[in-house]
A and B are shown apart, each in its own frame.
Chain A
């Protein structure tokens, strides 16, 4: 009985941990590592912030599109550009969206992060980036994205053979 309770508690906490993953403070190299890590056919990166209303508005569509394409090899990488003291607030928001993926909070110089991720990106939020399984950029948006256009791009990207 005690063993069972322990197992239940572990399961419960395990379940919670999976539903609301901690956001990891990360520099550019860590984010690039998550993009280039083998095992995905395509990788969608979304840079957002709790203070950014359009980012919060598009998040349900991002998560919905991810869930619809996850089984076909899509990886989602979320990067919050909130200040470090807003980490708990960012985690709370992602938990409310049911996010269960790698999630980061950008630390370090903005200029280096922006240019290191994509030189054509101005730093405007929200921003989304779609890569193939080898980390080659296929599409990028420095504005809110619609579910329809995201789905179209994801479908194309997942059809592609990685070169």
Chain B
């Protein structure tokens, strides 16, 4: 009996050990923004803001981004242009930096503030200090966009467009098309897209 228990335990353990290690699920389409009242530090003005505060009358765009990832940098100007443009069209926007600055040295509050000024961002670029917002969204990389419609439901999740490297060779403007649709009260044609990106630098668990 004891042997049987040990064997069962071993079989169970073996299966558990072979289970997929990483299965963090991103927020499902149709979901409301999680952690919408979590206070996010805005280095530009030293205040805090929540996703609920940033909510726009036509919808809300949340983009996880950072200062140093080559993909985030390649898309940065397009992210800022889309943010500034659609903020005027009723979309609330918040850009979130969730990287642990002890790992990602370019993502300190001072450097986030500087980037906000350099890029002339009209929208807040804030810090998810304890990474609860990124985790609740199931965000895993930068840049990664989540667009909520007027009713507050997730209606687009994914990348910016299909060519980070050459802006003039983009053929699918995923995020722009989704913003255009949502700001006109319509559903986006493409709802989930992917690109390579830099893994968010989560704090190391000791």
Q: Which residues of A contact B (CB under 8 A)?
A: 49, 51-52, 54, 81, 83, 109-111, 114-115, 120, 122-126, 137-144, 149, 152-153, 156-157, 159-160
Contact = CB atoms under 8 A, between A and B. Distances in A.
B1 interface: no
B186 interface: no
A112 B193 CA distance: 9
A54 B200 CA distance: 11
Contacts, number: 83
B199 A139 contact: no
Contacts of A123: 141, 159, 194-197
Interface stretch (B14-22, B115-123, B145-153, B175-183): B14-22
Interface string B165-206: 100000000000000000000000000011111111110000
Contact of A81 (B23, B194, B196, B201): B196
Q: Which of B18, B19, B21, B70 has the largest number of chain A CB atoms within 10 A?
A: B21
Contacts of B18: 138-139, 153, 156-157, 160
Given A110-B194, A153-B21, 8 more contacts: A54-B199, A111-B162, A120-B23, A120-B25, A122-B140, A123-B159, A126-B199, A143-B22
Interface string B39-53: 000000000000000
B30 interface: no
Contacts of A124: 140-141, 196-200
- Say whether chain A's binding surface is mostly helix, strand, loop, or mixed: mixed
Interface of B: 14, 17-26, 70, 140-141, 144, 159, 162, 165, 193-202
11 contacts: A49-B196, A54-B199, A110-B162, A122-B141, A125-B198, A141-B21, A142-B140, A143-B140, A143-B202, A153-B18, A156-B18
A114 B199 CA distance: 14
A125 B197 contact: yes
Q: Which of A110, A115, A149 has the largest number of chain B CB atoms within 10 A?
A: A110
A111 B21 contact: no
Contacts of A142: 22, 24, 140-141, 199
Contact of B17 (A111, A115, A126, A156): A156
B162 A122 contact: no
Given A83-B165, A124-B140, A156-B14, A110 B21 contact: no
B194 A125 contact: no
